[in-house]
Amino acid sequence: MSEYLLEMKNITKTFPGVKALDNVNLNVRKGTVHALMGENGAGKSTLMKCLFGIYEPNGGEIYLEGKKAEIHSARQAMDKGIAMVHQELHPIRFRSVMENVYLGRFPGHMGVVDHKAMYDRTKALFEDLELDVDPLALAGEQSAAILQMMEIARAVDMKAKIIILDEPTSSLSDREVDHLFKIINRLRAQGVAFIYISHKMKEILEISDEITVMRDGTYVGTWPVTDANGEKLTIDFIIKQMVGREMTNQFPPRDGKPGSDVVLKVEHVCSPLRKSFQDVSFELHRQEILGIGGLVGAQRTEFVEALFGLRGIASGEIMLNGARYSNKSPGFAKSRGLALLTEERRATGIFGILPILENTVIANQRNYATFGVLNDSRRLKDADEECKKLNVKTPSLNTLIQNLSGGNQQKVLIARWLLTNSDILILDEPTRGIDVGAKYEIYNIMLEQIAQGKSIIMISSEMPELMGMSDRIMVMCEGRVTGFLNKGEYSQEKIMALATQFAGRKDSTAA
């Protein structure tokens, strides 16, 4: 019998104009966490979609427990004990949690669903996983962490032998990550194998037993996280395998300093919702990168969405280049030189059924029209230049954006807003789901914008990024600004102290 629970041998997958996978191998042992790593566009998600039956490989073989497996659909994959928790969660939002857990396999008899049995089984399953969730609650009202655990609970109930986790912690707080790892460790001890895709290096080294690296659709190698001598893999080694070169600096050098001109002044701005942002005040200077730090629930996203006209403001004053500014609509914000890269690219960023070309130029569409007629040659030229500048990996600008990797989708969205030539770029988690090589490219783009006289507000939940790229950091906790830190004062401890300042208070939003 094979020593591997899963063997993927010489998997090849070709799409029109591109070879996405070229003889890729992946061997996963029972009861282990096997990390699958590589830059965006390396083929990780394509390989997993071949395993899960979403894509049909053009070549290669798959073996489960030593026996050749034919997998032509997601249903067949699930029947063989393979479950997949996707990076972008798509629950049926207006149905209950328990209905989402048992979707497609409701308990019952002769077409009649046994709702009591479904409730009891879901409740028992959640208690076993230490989840405090009402099975009758609407899925759409749950946090990203609960939705993810709901998918894992579904996999556990299906007696899955292999669970694929694609960027499972991208939207989780540290406490939620700890709970997820606790569940993973428990299931690993029961013999369940995990294929774990993430760009968070420290996280990978903490949870994984083995690491496989892919590059440009090919297999690079597999290594144990800890070797026979007790030596651990280093982050530098993993990065070198991923990008094919040494990366000595995580962040590019910053030339110059912010100017003294105040381009945006926010004074005592409050949300109409009492539990949202309250009394926010700050100044943004020309050529400054102002980082906004905080934990999940700090209302950072809600505030910048209000600034861009996506949410209401009840009181306070905003001055833009010395003139009073009203957040009446996103169109108005855009006309005044603001741009917003949203946090959730699938929900509020990309137009999945449109090609890359349309997704790139859509925010700048009016500038390509003369008497209502679009200038296609200019649109194509500008989109091509911006996508090449950000190294978007795609066979064509006519490729549907939904067919790109998450990282390449993010690059297209950044290209979209760069085309608007906005004076203030608001970037909400700009490198979420982006590999280290692509992050460096995006950091360089940010510094290029600063050198051109632009200003940036950047929300980031990654502490090294926040400290490495910001000229100044504003920290929020439960809707309020708790402090500012200047470059040279930064430390994770100081940021965390400000980010948890109201922890334990019953009503932190009270005046």
Tell me if 28 sits within 8 A of 6, measured CB to CB: yes
- Across the strands, what pairs with 163? 83, 194
The enclosing domain of 309 has a CATH number of: 3.40.50.300
pLDDT: is 33 or 374 the higher one? Answer: 33
pLDDT given at position 13 = 93
Query: Do residues 225 and 299 both lie within one domain?
Result: no
pLDDT given at position 147 = 82
Query: Do residues 324 and 467 both lie within one domain?
Result: yes
Whole-angstrom distance, CA of residue 108 vs CA of residue 127: 22
Query: Do residues 306 and 388 both lie within one domain?
Result: yes
Whole-angstrom distance, CA of residue 155 vs CA of residue 141: 21
pLDDT given at position 507 = 42
Q: Give the max Cα distance, the chain.
A: 74
Query: How many other C-beta atoms can be found within 10 angstroms of the C-beta atom of residue 170?
Result: 18
Would residue 118 count as lying in a domain?
no
Q: What is the 3-state secondary structure (H, E, C) of 189-213?
A: HCCCEEEEECCCHHHHHHHCCEEEE
Whole-angstrom distance, CA of residue 439 vs CA of residue 251: 9
Residues 285-311 pLDDT 10s: 999 999 999 877 789 999 999 999 999
Residues 416-469 pLDDT 10s: 999 999 999 999 999 877 777 778 888 999 999 999 999 999 999 888 899 999
Query: Do residues 370 and 237 both lie within one domain?
Result: no
φ, ψ for residue 284, nearest 5 deg: -115, 125
For 75-84, 277-286, 368-377, 477-486, which range has the lowest pLDDT when averaged over its residues?
A: 368-377
Task: Give the residue among 84, 89, 50 at the shortest CA–CA distance from 154.
Answer: 84
What is the mean pLDDT of the segment spanning 213-228?
91
State how beta strands 472-477 and 480-486 pair.
antiparallel
What is the mean pLDDT of the segment spanning 151-165?
88
Whole-angstrom distance, CA of residue 331 vs CA of residue 329: 5
Whole-angstrom distance, CA of residue 403 vs CA of residue 162: 25
Query: What does the mean pLDDT of the chain come to?
Result: 88
For 128-137, 154-163, 421-430, 496-505, which range has the lowest pLDDT when averaged over its residues?
A: 496-505
pLDDT given at position 511 = 28
Amino acid type, 85: V
Whole-angstrom distance, CA of residue 435 vs CA of residue 243: 9
Would residue 102 count as lying in a domain?
no
Query: Do residues 63 and 200 both lie within one domain?
Result: yes
Tokens of 386: 């911006």
What is the mean pLDDT of the segment spanning 239-257?
78
Looking at the chain, how many residues does it have?
511
Residues 104-147 pLDDT 10s: 888 888 888 888 999 998 999 888 888 888 999 888 888 777 88
Tokens of 492: 């994770």
Q: What is the 3-state secondary structure (H, E, C) of 414-480?
A: HHHHHHCCCCEEEEECCCCCCCHHHHHHHHHHHHHHHHCCCEEEEECCCHHHHHHHCCEEEEEECCE
pLDDT given at position 208 = 95
What is the mean pLDDT of the segment spanning 10-19?
84
Query: Burial of 26 by CB count in 10 Å (0-12 exposed, 13-18 middle, 19+ buried)?
Result: buried
In sign, the C-alpha dihedral spanning 362, 367, 368, 373 is positive
What is the DSSP annotation of 282-341? EEEETT-EEEEE--TTS-HHHHHHHHTTSS---EEEEEETTEE-----HHHHHHTTEEEE
Would residue 127 count as lying in a domain?
no
pLDDT given at position 88 = 67
Query: How many other C-beta atoms can be found within 10 angstroms of the C-beta atom of residue 57?
Result: 21
Would residue 109 count as lying in a domain?
no
State how beta strands 262-270 and 218-224 pair.
unpaired
pLDDT given at position 49 = 92
pLDDT: is 248 or 242 the higher one? Answer: 242
pLDDT given at position 17 = 66
Label residue 42 by pLDDT band (50, 70, 90): confident
pLDDT given at position 268 = 97
> Using a CB cutoff of 8 Å and minimum separation of 24, what contacts does 11-15 make?
11/47, 11/50, 11/57, 11/59, 11/60, 11/62, 12/57, 12/58, 12/59, 12/60, 13/43, 13/46, 13/47, 13/50, 13/55, 13/57, 13/58, 14/58, 15/395, 15/403
Query: Do residues 178 and 266 both lie within one domain?
Result: no
Would residue 128 count as lying in a domain?
no
Would residue 346 count as lying in a domain?
yes
Domain encompassing residue 160: 6-91+142-243
Tokens of 36: 């699958």
Does 403 score more than 60 pLDDT? yes
Query: Do residues 375 and 463 both lie within one domain?
Result: yes
Task: Give the residue among 218, 216, 221 at the shortest CA–CA distance from 241.
Answer: 221
Residues 366-375 pLDDT 10s: 888 888 888 8
Whole-angstrom distance, CA of residue 308 vs CA of residue 427: 12
Query: Do residues 210 and 271 both lie within one domain?
Result: no
Whole-angstrom distance, CA of residue 435 vs CA of residue 369: 36
Query: Do residues 336 and 291 both lie within one domain?
Result: yes
Does 19 score more than 60 pLDDT? yes
Query: Burial of 107 by CB count in 10 Å (0-12 exposed, 13-18 middle, 19+ buried)?
Result: middle
CB neighbour burial string for 437-467, b if at least 16 within 10 angstroms, e if fewer = bbbbbbbebbbebbeeebbbbbbbbbbebbb
φ, ψ for residue 486, nearest 5 deg: -90, 160
End position of a domain, from candidates 243, 271, 302: 243
Whole-angstrom distance, CA of residue 456 vs CA of residue 284: 8
Query: Do residues 234 and 281 both lie within one domain?
Result: no
Query: Do residues 356 and 427 both lie within one domain?
Result: yes
Share of the chain above pLDDT 90, in %: 51
Residues 44-85 pLDDT 10s: 989 999 999 999 999 999 999 999 999 999 899 999 999 998
Instruction: Measure the CA dihedral 199/146/102/89, to 10°.
Output: -40
- Helices and strands (DSSP H and E) totals, the chain: 17, 24
Would residue 39 count as lying in a domain?
yes
Query: For the chain, how many structural domains are there in total?
Result: 2
pLDDT given at position 496 = 83
Spatial neighbors of 145 by CB under 8 A, at least 6 apart, are: 171, 172, 173, 176, 179, 180
Query: Do residues 74 and 199 both lie within one domain?
Result: yes
Would residue 117 count as lying in a domain?
no
